[in-house]
Chains A and B, each alone.
Chain A
Amino acid sequence: MKLKPATGRRLANLAVSIWAAASALLGILILFWILYVVIHRGLGALNLSFFTQLPTPPGMGGGGLANAILGTLVLTAAATLMAVPLGLLAGVYLAEFSEDSKLGDYSRFSANVLMGIPSIIVGVFAYTMVVVPLGNFSGYAGALALAILMLPVVARTTEDMLRLVPNTLRESALALGAPRWKVTLAIVFRAAKSGLITGILLAVARVSGETAPLLFTALNSPYWFHSLGEPTPNLTVTIFNYAMSPYPDWQQKAWGASLLITLGVLITTVLARFLLREKKV
């Protein structure tokens, strides 16, 4: 190629380098800006009654979001119970048995696509599948929506992690006469343990901050959690409702809930990444 004079080219390079560094800085800046705002405004809302009491009507002050904290934990746990066994086994099929299988290809492809389908669509699906037939908003519908969001994440990370296990390990176990299922569950799973846990943690982190799929499935409730058959209180929908309300004490609580959710999700994510890094070393 024909080169232009050196000074101009160097200047262009310098400009682009500065632009690139500035872009990276902007990304970090946004992250810290959000974290700062959430911590700064949220800390003031956190006190003992925030964790132990029921919400109060606007303007009364006091009260807390203990029911929503509990509800979010229950919903996430229920979704995890549904999605993790299914996702792990689906991942096993993709990694261990799907050689040259059209269905394996298609399943992997669908998992990738399903990960990108908007979570609110999954909420609409859970609404038509559970809320309409049962006739009321329920925690089951919310947990189902969250489980559908978790499933492809668990399946794909399981596949990736199992594929990292060297084949010689499988072959030695098979040569000793162990059946295939025992090889997978006792040898391959153990070798890929930290990777599998990472996948599950990432999936949990992803859904525990989700709001859209809960808006018209689990709905929300100002009472204690009773059963998954009723509208279930949860933190994220509470944030939405309280933030959109005109009452300062409710908005304050929304910031407190935001801080909890952000910390929970970020700590889980960092923990997952840390586990994976340890494995690589």
Chain B
Amino acid sequence: MIKPAPQPGPENPAKPALRVVKASHQVSAAARGDKTFRWLSFFCSLVVPLVMLAIGLELFWTSWPAVRQFGWRFFFSAEWNPVLQEFGAASSIFGTLVSTLIAMFIAVPLSLAISLFLVELAPPKVSRVVGTLIELLAAVPSIIFGMWGLFVFAPFMAHYVQPLLGKTLGFLPLFQGPPMGIGMLTAGIILAFMVLPFISAITRDVFQLVPPVVKESAFGMGATTWEVTYKVTIPYGLVGIIGAAFLGLGRALGETMAATFVIGNAHRLSLSLFAPGNTIASTLANEFSEATEPLYVSSLVALGLVLYLITYLVQVVSQMMLRRMYRAWSVGL
């Protein structure tokens, strides 16, 4: 038998090539380290969109039995009866939209006013302190708003605000019914306080980013602060303000604990804002851990899917608006 002579190769390097191999090995270790690091960070950044996608797919998949069972009826029926296995999302969707609408009506003008105060009116020191305190409001957990809302704010509404509204605007169906404190109106107002700091953080940026030259030329013509604000600053920063409003809208739509504490949790449609109702999020919070029947769980997940799709759309619009604003003003984000 003839044994082949040992060939120089990776496992059996020839003598003269040794130093070269060693040197290139060192270089490639650094290069390989860089490559590994790059790929590793790449995969980690891939996780975020994947999670996003997985949430959507999983919700869709799990809610399929309910969607197949009820079809379009699911969205238009207000019947929600776990005993009879009859589920309709209308009252939850209605409640989500109404409470959010109330919240936005209050929060957007308030945020604009706060930004106006912080940027144009207050002295810098006051502005910094007030601005920080408003931002801290965003850090208060949702459940704390719920506790305060249920035990303090709802009685306050029942004793002072709702009787007053009933007396003055009681001819409208919106403000009829017994003042119980809890209900749609109270939930909407608390949601407004919760999204306020998120909206005002961005509108404050918007007010600050309007070029001073533009404002000063209006001031130079003798315009007052208010005139500059609504004739120059607001039109100039409109894209950003809409983006901020949508950001707050998304938060208000999905806010769970505070709404669950004060909205009253009743599956029903009512014109009166004093009446108890529910939102998609509050229905999930109340019923999910008790749901045992597969169709019940599936219907709840279908509610979740509706909320997911709505908030996703709202967030996308908001991000696009904000991106356009920051890019146009070339400050990067």
Partner-binding segment picked from A52-60, A63-71, A73-81, A117-125: A117-125
| Contact in complex: A119, B136 (CB < 8 Å) | no
| Contact in complex: A129, B47 (CB < 8 Å) | no
Knowing A86-B47, A120-B281, A205-B139, the reply to whether A114 touches B225 (Cβ < 8 A) is no
Interface size class of B (residues with CB under 8 A): 35 or more
Knowing A33-B148, A38-B148, A240-B143, the reply to whether A215 touches B316 (Cβ < 8 A) is no
Minimum C-beta distance from A262 to chain B (A): 5
Partner-binding segment picked from B12-20, B68-76, B77-85, B306-314: B306-314
Cα A218 to Cα B265 with chains together (Å): 23
Task: Give the A-binding residues of B (Cβ under 8 A).
Answer: 30-31, 33-34, 36-38, 40-42, 44-49, 51-52, 54-55, 58-59, 62, 110, 113-114, 116-118, 121-122, 130, 132-134, 136-137, 139-148, 150-152, 193, 196-197, 200, 221-227, 229, 231, 247, 250-251, 253-257, 260-261, 281, 284-285, 288-289, 300-301, 304, 307-308, 311-312, 314-316, 318-319
Q: Using Cβ atoms and an 8 Å threshold, which residues of chain B touch A210?
A: 141-142
Q: Using Cβ atoms and an 8 Å threshold, which residues of chain A touch B221?
A: 1
Q: List 23 A-B contacts (CB under 8 A).
A: A9-B227, A21-B117, A22-B113, A24-B113, A24-B114, A24-B134, A33-B152, A38-B144, A90-B41, A91-B45, A103-B42, A103-B45, A116-B247, A116-B254, A117-B312, A121-B308, A155-B45, A155-B48, A181-B34, A181-B36, A182-B33, A212-B281, A240-B143
**Residue A198 at the B interface, CB < 8 A?**
no
Q: Using Cβ atoms and an 8 Å threshold, which residues of chain A touch B52?
A: 110, 113-114, 117
Within 8 A of B (CB), among A1-31: 1, 3, 9-10, 12-13, 16-17, 19-24, 26-28, 30-31
Selected from A117, A124, A155, A219, the residue in CB contact (under 8 A) with B311 is A117
Cα A184 to Cα B41 with chains together (Å): 11
Selected from A118, A152, A236, the residue in CB contact (under 8 A) with B307 is A118
Knowing A12-B226, A13-B227, A210-B141, the reply to whether A239 touches B256 (Cβ < 8 A) is no
| Contact in complex: B46, A16 (CB < 8 Å) | no
**Residue A266 at the B interface, CB < 8 A?**
yes
Q: Using Cβ atoms and an 8 Å threshold, which residues of chain A touch B314?
A: 116
Within 8 A of B (CB), among A231-272: 236, 239-240, 243, 251, 254-255, 258, 261-262, 265-266, 269-270
Q: Using Cβ atoms and an 8 Å threshold, which residues of chain B touch A92?
A: 41, 44
Minimum C-beta distance from A161 to chain B (A): 14
Q: Using Cβ atoms and an 8 Å threshold, which residues of chain A touch B54?
A: 125, 129
Q: Using Cβ atoms and an 8 Å threshold, which residues of chain B touch A251?
A: 151
Interface size class of A (residues with CB under 8 A): 35 or more
Knowing A113-B52, A179-B34, A181-B33, the reply to whether A24 touches B117 (Cβ < 8 A) is yes
Cα A9 to Cα B114 with chains together (Å): 21
Selected from B33, B34, B250, the residue in CB contact (under 8 A) with A116 is B250
Who on chain A is nearest to B257 by CB? A211
Selected from B49, B147, B223, B225, the residue in CB contact (under 8 A) with A38 is B147
Q: Using Cβ atoms and an 8 Å threshold, which residues of chain A touch B226?
A: 12-13, 16-17
Who on chain B is nearest to A152 by CB? B48
Name the 3 nearest CB pairs between A and B, nearest first.
A118-B254, A209-B141, A181-B37
| Contact in complex: B197, A17 (CB < 8 Å) | no
Cα A233 to Cα B301 with chains together (Å): 24
How many cross-chain pairs have Cβ atoms below 8 Å apart between A and B? Answer: 265
| Contact in complex: B147, A258 (CB < 8 Å) | yes
Knowing A20-B113, A120-B254, A180-B38, the reply to whether A209 touches B143 (Cβ < 8 A) is yes
**Residue A221 at the B interface, CB < 8 A?**
no
Partner-binding segment picked from A93-101, A165-173, A188-196, A222-230: A93-101
**Beyond the given A20-B113, A116-B314, A125-B58, could you list 19 further A-B residue pairs with CB under 8 A, ordered by the A residue number?**
A17-B117, A31-B136, A89-B41, A103-B46, A107-B46, A116-B315, A117-B55, A117-B312, A120-B254, A121-B307, A121-B311, A124-B284, A124-B304, A179-B31, A180-B34, A209-B140, A210-B141, A211-B257, A212-B285
Cα A180 to Cα B304 with chains together (Å): 43
| Contact in complex: B288, A124 (CB < 8 Å) | yes
**Residue A50 at the B interface, CB < 8 A?**
no
| Contact in complex: B130, A120 (CB < 8 Å) | no
Cα A35 to Cα B203 with chains together (Å): 26
Selected from A98, A129, A215, the residue in CB contact (under 8 A) with B45 is A98
Selected from B134, B140, B312, the residue in CB contact (under 8 A) with A266 is B140
Q: Using Cβ atoms and an 8 Å threshold, which residues of chain B touch A255?
A: 147
Who on chain B is nearest to A181 by CB? B37
Minimum C-beta distance from B240 to chain A (A): 15
Cα A117 to Cα B312 with chains together (Å): 7
| Contact in complex: B59, A121 (CB < 8 Å) | yes
Cα A173 to Cα B312 with chains together (Å): 42
Q: Using Cβ atoms and an 8 Å threshold, which residues of chain B touch A219?
A: 289
Knowing A116-B315, A121-B308, A128-B301, the reply to whether A265 touches B254 (Cβ < 8 A) is no
